[in-house]
Amino acid sequence: MNTYKLTLLALLATLAIVGRYVFQFLPNIQPVTAIIIICGFLLGPIEAVILALLVTFLSNMLMGMGVWTVWQVVAWGLIGLISGLLGRFQRHISAMKLVILAVFSGYLYGFVISLTTYQITGKFWPYYLAGLPFDTSHAIGNAIFMVIFYPIILHLVKKYSKNRFSIRNTN
């Protein structure tokens, strides 16, 4: 991993952490998932998982650490892997497909986080079904943040690299 990738990951992590902290008063609306998807698509799956780890642990230092932290890493890491693999195998994708992925990821995140309750109480479905309105707000927030951040981050990546995918191949 080169200095440029490290710097970009640090900037994306900072943006996600600050965004999560600023939007904490709105339930389940924060830019972390959208930023992880963008990172995975543009930089690759490993970088997205690293970003998921950084954002989860650093933001939870501010907002509270608990057993859910592990499941947040799993959920955001899985979303990063999916978006990273999508970026590897589909070089050109419409912004609308990324928005759809962001909406789907809101529900996937909620499903994985619901496993926390199963781990503790052995009950999954009541908690998952009760959380669907929160998952819906997360999905809508993801779509909005994707529309806002994807063009900006894509422009920055294109500006400092020869093409959109050369950043993946540099060591």
CATH code (residue 102): 1.10.1760.20
Q: Is residue 150 part of a domain?
A: yes
> Alpha-carbon distance 142 to 103, whole Å?
6
Give Cα 31 distance to the centre of its chain: 8
- Domain hosting 117: range is 3-23+30-163
Q: Is residue 56 part of a domain?
A: yes
User: What count of Cα atoms within 13 Å lies in the side-chain half-sphere of residue 72?
Assistant: 20
Report, as an integer, the average pLDDT of 69-89.
95
- Degrees (nearest 5) of the Cα angle 154, 32, 117? 150
- The answer on pLDDT for 168 being more than 60 is no
**96 domain-assigned:** yes
| Structure tokens, 103 | 């909406």
Which 8-state DSSP code applies to residue 2? -
The pLDDT confidence band at residue 93, using thresholds 50, 70 and 90, is confident
User: Percent of the chain having pLDDT more than 70?
Assistant: 92
Counting Cβ atoms within 10 Å, is residue 110 exposed (0-12), middle (13-18) or buried (19+)? buried
Residue 55 has pLDDT above 70, yes or no: yes
Rounded to whole angstroms, the Cα distance separating 156 from 47 reads 17
Residue 158 resides in a domain? yes
Q: Answer yes or no: is 119 within a domain.
A: yes
Single-letter residue type at 65: M
Asked if the structure places residue 170 within a domain, the reply is no
In this structure, is residue 99 part of a structural domain?
A: yes
Q: Is residue 171 part of a domain?
A: no
Residue 111 near residue 163, CB atoms below 8 Å: no
Average pLDDT over residues 137-152: 96
Where residue 27 falls (left for φ over 0; alpha for ψ -120 to 50; beta otherwise) is beta
As a whole number of angstroms, the distance between CA 102 and CA 79 comes to 9
Report whether pLDDT(62) > 60.
yes
What value does the mean pLDDT take over residues 162-170? 46
Q: Is the pLDDT of residue 31 over 80?
A: yes
- What's the total number of domains in the chain? 1
